[in-house]
């Protein structure tokens, strides 16, 4: 018998008349608000217009939620399709089920669209977003606690999570006898806070730019997601006996590490400007999104152009320049 454990909420939804208030949605909204607040501060520190953050966030949020749901449904189709299943439930996002990989992929696309609309440098915005995304994930994970879902293997540790019988019916037979499980939502929430702190420290310490702060976030998050995913016992697709999300974590970690090294060598330092210059009257721009050389050289000032007329001043000659060298 387990003497100490973390209790699960008795309910995850409350009703105000006919209107349901779901804890899962509240956690996601709270995470979004914190993320926008932190991104706004970081974008202002980088010299950007903070008013643009909400516009970029709107695109990223809508497409991010859509991408998260699509990824979840595609990787767990047996939950919605087949005998005894109801495909319409694939649209019931309020019941939980958002794949972080799909959310980041389409969320990044949304952020890119927002940046293009306001002529912002996408890599700089990604760096500003990086720790904020980690904090949003840390807060959003508590929605799994309210829904009593995505928990880990059985455990008798004092921080084991108590799961009600009604939320254990989908478990494999060998786990049905247990009542306390690893609180993977808590592990990931704590890990995500640590990821945000690491990104903030690394960004300030090394003046990361050109998307490298976001690469640090991806590497740090996937390193933790790999071992946390190993603990989970919810239904998931496997490749060579390993959960799909573990493979995804490995691939993204390697890709982020390669990006960090390659970009760091090509463009060390941080962008001088986070916004492109204004368009000319003919619609063109001297420093547009397609001009890779425009004040985006990692913090180095352009070399001075030599004067075509060189003045040869001889030290100690009170008469000044003795001659003018030909160009």
pLDDT band for 319, please (50, 70, 90 cuts): very low
Residue 290 lies in a domain: no
Q: Which residues of 229-265 are buried (b: 16+ CB within 10 A; e: fewer)?
A: bebbbeeeeeeeeebbbbbbbeebbeebeebbeebbe
Average pLDDT, the chain: 85
Residue 65 lies in a domain: yes
pLDDT at 2: 60
Of 29, 39, 93, 35, nearest to 67 (Cα)? 93
Measure the N-to-C terminal CA separation of the chain; round to a whole number of Å.
92
Is pTM, for the whole model, over 0.85?
Answer: no
Burial level of 188, CB count in 10 A (0-12/13-18/19+)?
buried
Residue 289 lies in a domain: no
What is the domain count for the chain? 1
Residues sharing a CB contact under 8 Å with residue 262, sequence separation 6 or more, in sequence order: none
Residue 111 lies in a domain: yes
Residues 37, 269, 278, 112, CA torsion sign: negative
Q: Which two tokens stand for residue 216?
A: 């640090």
pLDDT in tens, 237-282: 888 989 988 999 999 999 999 999 999 999 999 998 999 866 544 4
Burial level of 289, CB count in 10 A (0-12/13-18/19+)?
middle
Is it the case that residue 175 has pLDDT exceeding 60? yes
Residue 91 lies in a domain: yes
Q: Look at 87-96, 144-153, 256-265, 280-289 and tell me which has the smallest mean pLDDT.
A: 280-289
Q: State mean pLDDT over 93-106.
A: 82
pLDDT in tens, 192-205: 999 999 999 999 99
Residue 88 lies in a domain: yes
Contact 246, 227 (CB under 8 A): no
pLDDT at 309: 42
Contact 133, 60 (CB under 8 A): no
Residue 127 lies in a domain: yes
Percentage with pLDDT > 70 across the chain: 83
Spatial distance between the Cα atoms of 298 and 29, rounded to a whole number of angstroms? 35
Residue 311 lies in a domain: no
**Domain range spanning residue 32?**
22-266
């Amino acid at each position: 018998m387990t003497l100490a454990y973390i209790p699960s909420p008795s309910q995850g939804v409350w009703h105000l008349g006919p209107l349901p208030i779901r804890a899962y949605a509240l956690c996601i909204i709270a995470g979004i608000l914190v993320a926008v607040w932190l991104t706004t501060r970081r974008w202002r520190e980088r010299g950007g217009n903070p008013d643009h953050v909400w516009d970029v966030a709107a695109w990223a949020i809508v497409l991010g939620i859509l991408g998260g749901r699509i990824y979840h449904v595609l990787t767990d189709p047996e939950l919605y399709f087949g005998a005894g299943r109801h495909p319409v439930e694939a649209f019931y996002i309020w019941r939980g089920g958002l794949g972080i990989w799909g959310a980041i992929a389409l969320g990044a696309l949304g952020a890119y669209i927002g940046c293009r609309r306001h002529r912002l440098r996408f890599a700089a915005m990604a760096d500003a977003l990086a720790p904020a995304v980690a904090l949003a994930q840390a807060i959003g994970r508590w929605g799994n606690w309210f829904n009593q879902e995505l928990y880990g293997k059985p455990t008798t540790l004092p921080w084991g999570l108590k799961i009600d019988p009604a939320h254990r019916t989908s478990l494999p037979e060998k786990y049905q006898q247990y009542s306390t499980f690893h609180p993977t939502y808590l592990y990931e929430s704590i890990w995500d806070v640590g990821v945000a702190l690491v990104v903030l420290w690394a960004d300030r310490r090394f003046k990361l730019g050109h998307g490298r702060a976001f690469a640090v976030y991806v590497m740090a998050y996937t390193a933790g997601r790999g071992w946390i995913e190993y603990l989970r016992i919810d239904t998931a697709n496997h490749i060579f006996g390993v959960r799909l999300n573990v493979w995804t974590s490995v691939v993204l970690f390697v890709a982020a590490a390669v990006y960090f090294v390659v970009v760091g060598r090509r463009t060390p330092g941080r962008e001088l400007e986070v916004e492109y210059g204004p368009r000319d009257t003919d619609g063109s721009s001297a420093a547009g999104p397609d001009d890779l050389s425009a004040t985006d050289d990692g913090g180095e000032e352009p070399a001075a152009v030599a004067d075509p007329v060189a003045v040869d001043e001889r030290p100690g000659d009170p008469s000044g320049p003795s001659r003018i060298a030909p160009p």
